[in-house]
Amino acid sequence: MKYRSANSSRKQLKKRVSLLPLAWVVFGLGEVYGLRFLLGPIINIAPTISNDKPIGGSIFPVLFFNVAAVLGVLAVSLYSLGIWSIDLSRRKDKADLGALLVLVTGGLLLWYVPLAFFFVVASTVYLLAVNIE
């Protein structure tokens, strides 16, 4: 009986591990084409105004985009290896995923709406407050 459960868990782990190359390819292509879409051609490097402040106007959104892409690949890799699992039956996990979605969406909206920074800060504070153990 234990042998079957170990065998089925191995099959499940093999399926999860097969996600890794796909996640890495999507990350690489998403990084290149995402930056091309967000930054545009070399002449029009970022969607900013001419006298923009570099930290809030262009560097912070580009940094957020890169960090979000790397963390996404890390999350898929940890899930694929069976180290991280998501249990959507728990209320806390649903709230954490919602806050993470607000964080990523707000971070990507930083290109166009500077007010989105407050959503990024609020979701970051929430995630830090509920996950300190």
83: phi then psi, degrees, rounded to nearest 5: -80, -35
Q: With beta carbons less than 8 A apart as the criterion, state whether 124 and 103 touch.
A: yes
Predicted pLDDT of residue 122: 92
Predicted pLDDT of residue 2: 46
Is the pLDDT score of 46 beyond 60?
no
Predicted pLDDT of residue 125: 92
Cα separations (Å) of 99 from 102, 103, 105, 108, 131?
Answer: 5, 6, 10, 14, 12
- Measured N-to-C along each axis, helices 2-17 and 60-80 cross at an angle, to the nearest 10 degrees, of 150
Predicted pLDDT of residue 23: 79
For residue range 67-120, what is the model confidence (pLDDT) as tens digits? 777 777 787 887 887 787 778 888 888 888 888 889 888 888 877 787 888 998
- Run of H or E residues at 130: helix 116-130
Q: Amino acid identity of 44?
A: N
Task: Classify residue 107 by burial, with Cβ atoms within 10 Å: 0-12, 13-18, 19+.
Answer: buried
Q: Average pLDDT of 41-47?
A: 51
Predicted pLDDT of residue 47: 56
Range scoring the smallest mean pLDDT among 10-14, 15-19, 47-51, 69-73: 47-51
